[in-house]
Amino acid sequence: MSKENLDFFTVGVIAVLAGAGIVVMLIKTELARASGVKSGGRLFLAAALGMGIVAFTIKLTTFMLMAMLPKQIINPLMVERRFVEILPADWSKMPYIRRNDGPYRWQALPLQAPAPAANPTTPEKTALGKRLFFDPDLSLTRDVSCASCHDVSGGSGVDGRRTSKGIRGQLGGRNAPTVWNAAFQAVLFWDGRASSLEEQAKGPPLNPIEMGMPSGDAVAQRVRESAGYREDFDRAFGKGAEITFDRIAMAIAAYERTLITPNTAYDRFVRGDRNALSPAQMRGMALFQSIGCIACHFGANFSGASFANLAAGDLPAAVATDNGRFRMFPGNDTPYIQRYDLVADKGAAGPGSDRGIWRIPSLRNVAITGPWLHNGSVDKLEEVVRIMATSQLAASVDTVPQPGRTIFWSPADHSVSKVDRPVLSNADIKDIVAFLWAITDDELATKVSRRGTPPVKPTKG
């Protein structure tokens, strides 16, 4: 009960007690003596004169019960009205609404990542790219490599920092995304500024905080000076192929296209192993769909910004546009905005925006890639689920109540849509986390466990 409600209740109780006392004293000292009624009549007279007090007591009791009832019972009965200029069916602009396009199809990750025709994946190119990925000589101070921020050897594909460390100990402004399954993403970086792995691979070497090289040619010159690279380039690109920054990026991209995890418990389940998921993971999978997480994190790679989704004919056409690859975050006002400083960085949003616009990240292997979110501000996966549920789905959780029902009126086509917002218990959140473990590769999780203390893996319950 809030302080205001408690104060009102306290004053009400005092008023009831005072009123009852006055009525009793009045009857005992004046009215009973004047009317000559006995003790039984006095009780009837007190009840008659005190009906107002009785009615107020009933109202006060009702108020107390409503104030004390669990929020998840009260909230679904509440209605919030919204008047919007967009069509209610446009779910890309209202991420907690999904169009009724038929049953949602769960998809396993392809066993091979797509490669552009201009840069086919070959064993020779992959071997060269792996060497370049781990080579710190590609940085100005010769002590930072791609693997410094994207630790594939340790399992997670990230560095475990809130924001990554570059040359001379400088810290970047954003959390390093995992490199695992990045090959399936149609746009890269948190703000989606790169449209291919080749383009993305050119970013960190030239970033003054990350690897600090002055130019692409300076990077190529470092490689030319290093022993053995000449033969590697001959094998990857043909005899006498010039060592250029473009080809360095192509080789790194080819290696990154081999960093995929198509054998999670979830993938095994979708491919036919009905024992691959625990009961908790099955419950979490159902919640992931029913509350609307699939509005953004759908398809084989659990991201609206993925190639695997854009090629699937059974998904909404809106996904095949740039609008389907990005979302505003946070979408709704919640206490988490200030708690985790979520709007200091606006991502791809334009000037003057009070919210960020971000590429929809893949959720594969998310259980081992903490700390989470674009600024690395959250240390617990359960908290991430609460943040996303309240901020993006307008759901009610234990700490952030929301109105349970929203009515949308669209002046554009004179239509009304009713949305029943999700109400999540702590048990629901744990089940969703269990499902996020199901889309995390077991071998990678084991590697992370051996190198440190990973997030606690849920039980089989």
> Which residues are catalytic, by number?
210
What single-letter DSSP state applies at residue 196?
S
Q: Are 327 and 296 in contact (CB under 8 A)?
A: yes
Helix axes 123-133, 245-256, angle to 10 degrees: 100
Angle between helices 39-49 and 3-26 (to 10 degrees): 140
The three-point CA angle 21-22-24 to 5° equals 65
What SS3 class is residue 346? coil
Q: Give CA–CA dist 294/33, Å, rounded.
A: 76
- Tell me the three state secondary structure of residue 378: strand
Instruction: Please provide the distance, in angstroms rounded to a whole number, between the alpha carbons at the two ends of the chain.
Output: 34
Buried b (16+ CB within 10 A) or exposed e, 140-165: beeebbbbbbbbbebbbbbbbebbbb
Long-range CB contact pairs, 219-225, < 8 A, 24+: 219/138, 219/245, 219/248, 220/244, 220/245, 220/248, 222/137, 222/138, 223/132, 223/137, 223/138, 223/248
DSSP-derived letter for residue 372 is: B
**H or E element: which one contains 362?**
none
Q: How far apart are CA 309 and CA 417, in angstroms?
A: 27
DSSP state of 167: G
Distance of CA 114 to the CA centre of its chain: 26
**Is the CB of residue 298 less than 8 Å from the CB of residue 309?**
yes
Q: How far is CA 172 from CA 38, 176, 358, in A?
A: 87, 9, 17
